[in-house]
Amino acid sequence: MNIKQSKGYQVFRIFNTVIMIFVIFVTLYPFIYLVAQSFSNDAAVGAGKVTFFPIDFTLETYKYILTKDDSFFRFYGNTILYSVVGTFISVAGTALLAYPLSKPKLRLNKFFTPFVVFTMYFTGGMIPNYILITQWLGMGDTIWAIILPGAISTFNLLLMKSFFTGLPDELEEAASIDGMGVYGIFARIILPLSKPILATMTLFYLVGMWNEWFGPFLYLNTRDKWPIALWVRQLVEGANNVDVSSTAEASSVQATLKSATMVLTSLPIMCVYPFVQKYFVQGMTIGAVKG
């Protein structure tokens, strides 16, 4: 391509690079600050001395969280449990619904598709949901109250439906002629071909479940069932209702405890998403193009 490299354009490119560096810095700085705090001495944090690098580098906070206080592992374990079970149910449910909806020959889809899409624009709201979960279904204080209400995201469903619509019919027809049934085709032809969209869905649901705090906040009364996000919220909201043991050791990690817990909460997702990026961009693309 012959792009005319005018003076103005060259100036623009320098300007553009500067903007990008600025955006990267602004995006990353809060994380840098958090990490620096978590490795700093509590007194230095309290005095507001930390800006970029840890002051009086120490591993005490992490040591405290990981060895002295078992609440971290309890909440972290809960988050893992909810995320794994929730993601499995969500991905399976979304795939099961999206597959038939992607078949134009199914005449009842004229009803089912609008039935599903309508919920993107009109929902019951917080209070009816709360009453449904706690009173009608009696799911209060159980894992189901957190997992089931948001199990299928209609937006994700539409992404997956467009992906299935884009798969060539010929493969299914050939398999069908070879005597393979509907279930066999789905399990052995469709699902293996759908790795990009399955990876995308898994990431979206996993992130959603991992970060979820409001559902647990509404429905979990027993503290031992909390996910880590709810624990972070309590730490952030301030010490007024945190039951920290009154030992000097406990209070000395209090200020850095917040940052370290936030770092540990975000770490797994920060490590995973760059590797799945290719898939979710692809997934979003297919969904957006096909509509």
Partner 1 sequence: MAKEKAKQKPVGAKTSLLHHVKKEWKLYSFLVLPILYYVVFKYVPVLGNIIAFRKYKGGSNILGEEWVGFRYFRQFLTDPSFWKAFGNTLRLSIGYLLVRFPATLIFALLINEIRKTAWKRTVQTVSYLPHFISLVVVCGMVKELLAGNGPVNALLQALGMEKIAFMSEPGWFDAVYIISGVWQALGWGTILYLTAMTNINTELYEASAIDGAGRFKQAIHVTIPGILPTIMTLLIMDIGGIVTSNNMQKILLLYNPLTQERADIIGTLVYRMGISGGNFSYASAVGLFEAVIGLILVTSANFLSRKLTETSLW
Q: According to CB under 8 A, which residues from 132 to 191 bind partner 1?
A: 132, 135-137, 148-149, 151-152, 168-170, 173, 181-183, 186
**Alpha carbons 209 and 82: distance in angstroms, whole number:** 7
> In the block, which residue shows the tokens 């279904």?
137
- Report the site for partner 1 in 108-137 (rule: CB under 8 A): 108, 112, 115-117, 119, 121-132, 135-137
Question: Which listed residue (6, 240, 241, 247) binds partner 1 by CB under 8 A?
Answer: 6
| CB closer to partner 1 out of 177 and 247 | 177
Q: Does 262 participate in binding partner 1 (rule CB under 8 A)?
A: yes
Is there binding between residue 18 and partner 1 (CB under 8 A)?
no
Question: Residue 206 Cβ, how far from partner 1 at the closest point, in Å?
Answer: 10
Q: Is 250 in the site for partner 1 (CB under 8 A)?
A: no
Two tokens, residue 238: 């301030």
Please, which residue, 125 or 247, has the CB nearer to partner 1?
125
Residue 166 token pair: 């884009």
With vertex at residue 204, the alpha carbon angle to CA 203 and CA 205, rounded to the nearest 5 degrees, is 95
- 202 makes contact with partner 1 (CB under 8 A): no
* Residue number with CB closer to partner 1 (62 or 186): 186
| Shortest distance, position 275 Cβ to partner 1, whole Å | 10
Identity of the residue, 177 or 289, whose beta carbon is nearer to partner 1 in the bound complex: 289
CB 117, min distance to partner 1, A: 8
77 contributes a contact to partner 1 by CB under 8 A:
no
Q: Buried (b) or exposed (e) across 9-41, using 16+ Cβ within 10 A?
A: eeeeeeeeeeeeeeeeeeeeeeeeebbbbbbbb
Among 85, 142, 213, 251, binds partner 1 (CB under 8 A): 213
Report the b/e string of 147-173 with b at 16+ CB within 10 A.
bbbebbbbebbbbbbbbbbebeeeebe
- Name which of residues 223 to 242 contact partner 1 (CB under 8 A): 229-230, 232-233, 235-236
Per-residue b or e along 257-287, where b marks 16 or more CB atoms closer than 10 Å to that residue's CB: bbbbbbbbbbebeeeeeeebeebbeebeebb
- In this chain, which of 14, 104, 221, 246 binds partner 1, going by CB under 8 A? 104
Q: How far is the CB of 85 from partner 1 (least distance, A)?
A: 15
Query: Contact between 28 and partner 1 (CB under 8 A)?
Result: yes
Nearest distance, CB of residue 211 and partner 1, angstroms: 3
Q: Shortest CA distance to 150 belongs to which of 234, 74, 219? A: 219
Shortest Å, Cβ 9 to partner 1: 5
Look-up of token digits 């089931």? 148
As a 3-state breakdown, the chain gives helix, strand, coil percent values, each rounded to 5, of 75, 0, 25
